[in-house]
Structures are given as C-alpha cells and as structure tokens.
Amino acid sequence: MREAYHVELEQLAENLASMSLQVADAMERATRALLEVDLGLAEQVISDDAKVDDARAECEEQAYALLALQAPVATDLRTVLAAIHAAESLERMGDLALHVAKAARRRHPDPVLPEEVKADFAKMGEVGVSLARQVEQVIKSKDVEAARTIESDDDEVDEIHKHLFTVIMDRNWDHGVAAAVDVTLLGRFYERFADHAVSVARRMIFVVTGKMPGYGPDEL
C-alpha cells in the first residue's frame, strides 16, 4: 500500500512539472505573438489555455483523493497540500500568458508595444519562461537551493517592471494614453507570472524543510 501511495505522489509531482512546461510554452508563444504581431501564435495560446485548466483540475483531483483515502502525515501531507497550492499558481501563470496573447490579438494587425519598450518585454518574457522551466526541475528534484535561486532571479523582472513606469511617465512619451495603459497592464502580467513561479518554488521549499519562506498577500 505504501509503495503504491508513493507512486501516486510521484505521479502528482510529474503532473505538476508537466503543467510548469505548459505555462512556460504558453508565455513563450504569447511573448512572440506580442513582439512579432503574430495572430496565429496568439490564437494558439488562447485555445490551449483550456488544457492548463484541465491539468489543474486533474492535479487537484489527485491531491484530494490522496488526502481522503490515504490520510497522509508529515512530509507526505506537506507534499499534497503544496501540490494543491502549486496547481493554483501554475493555472494563474497560464491565465497571465492568456492575457498577453489576448492583448496581442486585440490590437492586431497593429503592434501593441512601442519600439522603445520591446526589448524590456522580450527580456521579461525570456526570464519568465526560464523561471517556469526552472520550476519544472525544482518540482522534480525538490532542490531547495535551486528553488531559492528562482526567487533571486525574479528580481530581474521586478526591476524591468519598475523601469517601465519611468518610460511611460517620461515627458518624451508620445504614444498616448492607450499605449501607456497597455504597457502598464502587460508589465503587470509578466511581473505576476514571475511572482507565481516564486510561489511554487516556495511551496517546494516547504515540502522539504517544513518551513514556508516569506510570502505576499496573494499567498495568504
């Protein structure tokens, strides 16, 4: 029974890791759609979002079944509870990629981003996708140091996000209010995407150590 139970726990972790790759791919495509004004890629992200939702539902169903049928304790209990929270964060990451793709579709055939901020969004997309792929490895390995690296890497996205405000508030900004709003919202989507990657990493630290690192209001 215990062997079968641990096989189920491993399967749950595999499903979460797979979800991480799904949202990484979604944000990678959404960013390309945004930067390259690619309607086809935007539509692909939008249509594929249902798969992320289904993956979350499957992970939660597995987790609740383990809670109900196996009554796990100690590390096993932390693993199941962390999986429930991680699945929620990963689904939100998918939703944020969806929002980016919808912005690209909404403005098509016009570009959403002015030229002077494209490099910033390219970098935020690159770092965000990298964080999601790192999460996949952390879920599989439960490597505490690798999980902590995700939190430090998130700082780069935060700095770019702050920089965007200085760009749109500059007196030389001549792209109007609508473009400023788009840049503000999109910057927030990328910042939150990275934050949720950090949240998942913290859950993995909790599984291993039994202690939850610092968290923000969205994780209460």
For the stretch 134-171, pLDDT in tens is 999 999 999 999 999 998 999 999 999 999 999 999 99
Could you give the maximum distance between any two Cα atoms of the chain, in Å? 68
**pTM assigned to the model:** 0.93
What pLDDT is recorded for position 128?
A: 98
Q: How far is CA 134 from CA 40, 137, 143, 194, in A?
A: 27, 5, 11, 11
* 18-22, 43-47, 63-67: least confidently modelled range: 63-67
Whole-number percent of the chain with pLDDT over 70: 96
Centroid of chain to Cα 146: 17
Structural domains of the chain ordered from first start:
2-215 (1.20.58.220)
